[in-house]
Structure 1
Amino acid sequence: MNSRSNLYFYYPKEKELEQKLEPLFDLAIENGFQIVEEDKDANIIISVGGDGAFLQAIRKTGFRQDCLYTGITRANETGLYCDFNLDNFDEMVQSMINEELEVRRFPLIDVLINNETLFHCLNEASIRSAIIKTIVMEVYIDDMHFETFRGDGLIVATPTGSTGYNKSLNGAVLDPKTPCFQVSELASLNSNRYRTLGSSFVLDKERKLTLEFVQDGNDYPIIGLDNEAYSIRNVKDLTVTLSEKMIKTVKLKNNSYWNRVKRTFL
């Protein structure tokens, strides 16, 4: 970690939090690290505030491929992406100095809207009706028609995102070392006209998922990308693939992803 000495902190500009961070900044500087004001100058980007802040930090800094990300939770927060707590930041500094950290890579999904605008997601993409009416989508896997979905919406989750919204829909929790993505339903309507699989399904990294929107009033669906929502005009189709990009994070050597899952849910 010696070559990664420039730290950028992403956090809400709250006076109380800034006061708590000041001694931590001092500790980092005392141990040979430099606090930078611009994320572009950082080797390591550190979010403060749990998983939501971690996702925001990655999005706001452009899903950088040339640096490491890590997260710090506060006392009342938990995080599957965050190894450290604000009250034991000194442990993080010492771990970085003594090289007790490991680099891990989390897969992203690429979300292409109307074959024009590309977004990345670390957690999930959600597609929901923006009006009090079910949304209808034609679902294609590798350009083969799979089903006609009618319901409240669909969730497409990465392996790490499988523990979020996807899990609340009874989707499977996936190992982040498995390059794939998962599709889960939101209140599907099954009848003689509309028929869906009725369960989550997992697609390999080589697969392509295409959703074509039936224009029956849902011309402005709500599209959630991680923890940001967009209302995009005249959405006709949406294509999801596993991205070639990955987010590199640092973790304690004795704190695996499944350690965190057990600690969070069991």
Structure 2
Amino acid sequence: MSSKRNLYLSYKQTNEMEDLIQPIRELATNNDFNLVSTVSEANIIASIGGDNAFLQATRKTGFRDDCLYIGINTDSLGFYTDFTIADIKRMIDAMKNDEVEVRRYPVLEVTIDEEQPFYCLNECSIRSNVIKTFVIDVFIDDLLFETFRGDGMIVSTPTGSTAYNMSVNGAVVDPTLPSLQVSEIASLNNNEYRTLGTSFLLGANRDLTLKVVQDGNDHPIIGVDNEALSIRHAKQLKLRLADRSIKVLKLKNNSFWEKVQRNFL
């Protein structure tokens, strides 16, 4: 790790959380970490909470690629959180004893109607906002690949493949494979509309474009990670792997596939 230890704590600011955070503050100070009050000063960002809190922390801090993220869970371990608040001393000891490593996770870039892009770590979803299917033309690079009619689509990163994507029978993807996975939500397949009927993977250099066919149901709900965007009207989404990744501090003996085994098998 860098000798510069400017630590920013990201957490939901409630009285209960403040009580839980205090031992972390004391332990960090006693181990030569400099606690800072703004993200711009930090080169280490520690998220306190579960995986959802980690997703919020990365988004609110701008998916910085020049600092290190650490996930500390208030309950059991998660996919992004290798440490628990009940055993925070183990994290410090692991860092001192070289039992940790830094892993890079890809970030998904989402551009809606040529506006400023949004970023997400897990997935972007687009769904109908009424009880009615809608139509999307799916382009891979410049190729019109298929026309989809159904409830929606999910585009996930490898680390997001075990979340929402898995619930619609998408694949679990090794996070060392830089890729995006496209999965359908309740597609209709008939003589007029025909899709692949399964999720598929795109390589790191591919561009995916989803064009919403304007047929009266053109106000879809768009979500990035665990937050819905307040965009009322969207005609087109462009998705690609961003030219940035985030660095996450992980235990060496707690790999992605060990987490999959622990959580699903």
Shift of 1:264: 1.6
Aligned to 1:104: 103
Aligned to 2:216: 217
Shift of 1:78: 4.0
What is the distance in 1 between the residues matched to 2:92 and 2:28? 6
Greater shift, 111-120 or 171-180, is seen at: 111-120
8 Å contact kept, 1:122–1:161: yes
Shift of 1:79: 1.2
What is the distance in 1 between the residues matched to 2:86 and 2:117? 38
Runs of 4+ residues deviating >3 angstroms: none
RMSD: 1.2
Greater shift, 254-263 or 63-72, is seen at: 254-263
Shift of 1:44: 0.9
SS at match of 2:229: strand
What is the distance in 1 between the residues matched to 2:60 and 2:142? 33
Aligned to 2:22: 22
Aligned to 1:68: 68
Aligned to 2:53: 53
What is the distance in 1 between the residues matched to 2:189 and 2:209? 20
**Residues 30-41 of structure 1: matches in 2 within 5 Å?**
30-41=30-41
Aligned to 1:132: 131
8 Å contact kept, 1:2–1:97: no
**5+ unaligned residues in a row in structure 2: which ranges?**
none
What is the distance in 2 between the residues matched to 1:221 and 1:81? 29
TM-score (normalised: structure 1): 0.96
Q: Give, as a single letter, the amino acid of the residue that structure 1 aligns with 2:62.
A: G
Task: Output one character per residue of 1:212-239: Cα deviation in whole Å (capped at 9) or x when no partner.
Answer: 1111122321100011101413311111
Shift of 1:163: 0.5
8 Å contact kept, 2:68–2:248: yes
Shift of 1:259: 1.4
SS at match of 2:105: strand
Aligned to 1:11: 11
8 Å contact kept, 1:220–1:231: no
8 Å contact kept, 1:139–1:211: yes
Residue 251 of structure 2 corresponds to residue 252 of structure 1: yes
Q: Give, as a single letter, the amino acid of the residue that structure 2 aligns with 1:172.
A: A
Distance 1:83 1:4, change over 3 A: farther
Q: Give, as a single letter, the amino acid of the residue that structure 2 aligns with 1:5.
A: R
Greater shift, 56-65 or 21-30, is seen at: 21-30
Identity among equivalent positions (%) equals 57
Aligned to 2:204: 205
What is the distance in 1 between the residues matched to 2:129 and 2:44? 38
Aligned to 1:93: 92
Greater shift, 148-157 or 229-238, is seen at: 229-238
Task: Output one character per residue of 1:76-118: Cα deviation in whole Å (capped at 9) or x when no partner.
Answer: x441011001100011112223332211000111111112221
8 Å contact kept, 2:77–2:83: no
SS at match of 1:117: coil
Q: Give, as a single letter, the amino acid of the residue that structure 2 aligns with 1:21.
A: I
8 Å contact kept, 2:104–2:246: yes
What is the distance in 1 between the residues matched to 2:39 and 2:111? 26
8 Å contact kept, 2:152–2:184: yes
Q: Give, as a single letter, the amino acid of the residue that structure 2 aligns with 1:230.
A: L
Shift of 1:261: 1.4
What is the distance in 1 between the residues matched to 2:2 and 2:141? 45
